[in-house]
Structure 1
Amino acid sequence: MKRSIVLLVIVLVLAGAAVYQNKGKHDDALAASSDMLPKPGYTAPTLSLPDLKEEPVAIGGKKEQLTLVNFWASWCYPCEMEAPDLQALSKKYAGKLQILGINATSVDKERQAREFVDQQKLSFPILMDRDGDAQKLYKVNSFPISLLIDSNGIVRERVEGVITKAKWQGFIDKWLDAESGQKAGSST
């Protein structure tokens, strides 16, 4: 009987030590996952930011159409280079693609951002990330960074830096085709 009690105490001590030792590992795994980039195949983070008229606009989540989210700053020369292409894409894919420009207002000057929009004649929605919340959620630490998000809220492409308009058209056409194939398959 004494031997059984001693064995039971040893087992309980070892079990307690194992639980104590592994307690922090779950927290580390959660921290590691929050440090991951929103990348292709994963759900895009959701949040809402004000546009230039202070109206809230939702980012991420299910939408009616494909969405291109572009992070930029007025002082970023590559952002200036790609702005005309983004404007052209917004016109070409009107009704099929939503482009959301997110100004890194927390590291930019809002007045200069508004001037940039006017100079570039951007007609797609421009959102102001005044507190840097979107930059944190989307792990943006350089500009420009763009994400193509499907209508189910899944990131399909993440582009860091500038790419050609033709390359964007390839990505957009690929995912528009994929989405129209899904809709056609679900209606049969």
Structure 2
Amino acid sequence: MRWKSCLTVAVYGALLVAGCGTQHSAPAVEPVPGHMAPGFSLKALNDGGKTISLNDLTHNDKPILLNAFASWCEPCQQETPDLVRMASKYAGKIQFVGVNMTQDDSAKDVDTFVKKFGIKYPVLSDPNGDFMNEYDISGFPTTFLLNSKGKVISVHLGALTEQQLQAMITQALGK
């Protein structure tokens, strides 16, 4: 019985290093670099409640940075200030979009998270786990960089450092 406890601790410890873990079913199309990202249509929690789709974002002709997070996730909280800073710095050049991944988060929890970090970019809600399944999210945070047409450029599992985020942006802008 004791080995089960140790195994549980080891698994949770590994998830904390990479990010906050989750379980879900496999996607129909995996969002991997070089392939088109799966479509989505989700309600914005902080942008007037409008529905935003991948199709809407690709009509803006700018690269898209999708950050899948959970408000209770410590690594998500650690990377958010850098995301907010970079979203401001690269406004008009890259579209930043957050996707809250958990059904457990109440609207109040996410609203508190958005206000605490001063998030100005759209934060979408995935109440049924559709985005999580389609994008094959295995832990939080997970960040997807898409080109302006919706093709996956890169995927990062776990919290991004400021340098990693800058490298993704540089890659997206082709500099």
Q: TM-score, normalised by structure 2?
A: 0.77
Change (3 A) 1:33 1:141: closer
Q: Which has the larger radius of gyration?
A: 1
Deviations 1:124-162 (A, max 9, x none): 111011111111110113100010000111000100001
Residue of 39, 50, 54 corresponding to 1:46: 39
Q: TM-score, normalised by structure 1?
A: 0.72
Tell me the amino acid that sits aligned with residue 62 of structure 1. Answer: T
Deviations 1:80-122 (A, max 9, x none): 0000000011011110000000001424222211111111111
Aligned: 1:122 with 2:122: no
Instruction: Work out the number of aligned pairs and report it.
Output: 146
- Runs of 4+ with deviation above 2 angstroms: 59-63, 107-110
Of Structure 1 and Structure 2, which has the larger fraction of its residues in helix?
Answer: 1
Using CA pairs under 8 Å that are at least 6 residues apart, name the structure with larger relative contact order, 1 or 2.
2
Aligned: 1:109 with 2:76: no
In structure 2, stretches of 5+ residues that fail to align are 1-25
Is residue 58–residue 150 contact of structure 2 (8 Å, CA) maintained in 1?
A: yes
Which residue of structure 2 aligns with residue 96 of structure 1? 93
Q: Within 2, Cα distance between the matches of 1:33 and 1:43? A: 13
| 141-150 or 105-114, which deviates more | 105-114
Residue of 53, 56, 60 corresponding to 2:51: 56
CA drift of 1:168 comes to: 1.4
Which residue of structure 1 aligns with residue 20 of structure 2? none
Q: Within 2, Cα distance between the matches of 1:107 and 1:142? A: 15
In structure 1, stretches of 5+ residues that fail to align are 1-31, 179-188
Residue correspondence of structure 1 range 1-188 to structure 2 within 5 A: 34=28, 37-52=30-45, 53-59=48-54, 62-63=58-59, 64-177=61-174
Which residue of structure 2 aligns with residue 26 of structure 1? none
The alignment partner of 1:106 has SS state of coil
Is residue 67–residue 97 contact of structure 2 (8 Å, CA) maintained in 1?
A: yes
CA drift of 1:33 comes to: 7.7
The alignment partner of 2:140 has SS state of coil
Q: Within 2, Cα distance between the matches of 1:152 and 1:66? A: 8
